[in-house]
Amino acid sequence: MMNYKTKIKHAEVVAQQLEEQKSVEAIKAELKQEGLYDRDIIEVMISSKKILGEKYQPQIRAFLLNDQPIHGAEEFSLLDAEIIDDLVAKTSQKIALEEKQRVIKLVKAGHPPEEIFQQIDTRFLPGAKAQELITSLQEVKHQNSGSGRMMNILGGAGLIVLTGVLLVTTNRIFYVLPFIGLGMIVKGHVAPLA
């Protein structure tokens, strides 16, 4: 197993080779000839892609946001198509995460869904996923509201009372019910995160 400095040294060389459009298979074979184990080769390849990502992701992000074609663009002519696809996918995921965070912020601020849809980029967070996220966030917000919390407290108390009634009438105790009731009461008393 190689140390961190050696791995980064190899990764920088591999990143350079990938920019020169050397095939991944040829690079892996070369690393294997140098005596690296398969696990080390995988780690070097991952690190080299991270290095390329740090270098090219800001440009790829700008291209994606401006709807410019990435394949065939002069800025990325040094990169292999597979590497470009990988960087595009990772950058798109980052943008989608940012859009999700924007939705969360807007829902917490109390904006209506129509306004939220106008402010998000549906190229990266599709409308159906955004709607699903908005709905689930609104449900959580409602549960954390006073009425939702009161329902949990009353439901939990009801389960505890039901346990007592069942004990008296059937002379049997259902141990699960009071624990569920206590859980609901505690959930109702916990302050909301929003």
Are 94 and 157 in a shared domain? no
What does the pLDDT read at residue 81? 86
Please check whether residue 135 lies inside any domain of the structure: no
Note whether 80 and 35 are same-domain residues: yes
Does some domain include residue 90?
A: yes
Between the alpha carbon of residue 184 and those of residues 143, 154, 160, 172, the distances in Å are: 12, 8, 10, 22
- Examine the domain organization and report whether 8 and 93 are in the same domain: yes
pLDDT score at 57: 93
Q: What is the Cα–Cα distance from 78 to 95, expressed in whole angstroms?
A: 24
Same domain, 99 and 161: no
Domain of 53 in residue numbering reads as: 4-111
| 33, 81: one domain | yes
Q: What is the pTM of this model?
A: 0.67
3-state secondary structure of 27: helix
Neighbours of 126 (CB within 10 A): 13
Q: Within a domain: residue 134? A: no
Question: One-letter amino acid identity for 41?
Answer: I
Distance (Å, rounded) from C-alpha 28 to C-alpha 194? Answer: 49
The CA-to-CA distance between both ends of the chain, in Å, stands at 46
Residue 87 belongs to some domain of the structure: yes
Same domain, 16 and 106: yes
Does some domain include residue 31?
Answer: yes
The model's pLDDT over 53-96, given as tens digits with 9 standing for 90+, comes to 999 999 999 999 999 999 989 988 888 888 899 999 999 999 99
Q: What is the mean pLDDT of the chain?
A: 88
What is the tens place of the pLDDT at every residue in 106-152? Answer: 988 889 889 998 999 999 999 899 999 998 888 877 666 667 678 88
Same domain? 33 vs 86: yes
Same domain, 82 and 167: no
Contact call for residues 27 and 18 (beta carbons, < 8 A): yes
pLDDT in tens, 8-35: 999 999 999 998 888 889 999 999 999 9
Identify whether 122 is part of a domain: no
pLDDT > 70 in the chain, percent: 94
**In the prediction, which pLDDT does 146 show?**
67
| pLDDT tens-digit map of 139-167 | 877 666 667 678 888 888 999 999 888 88
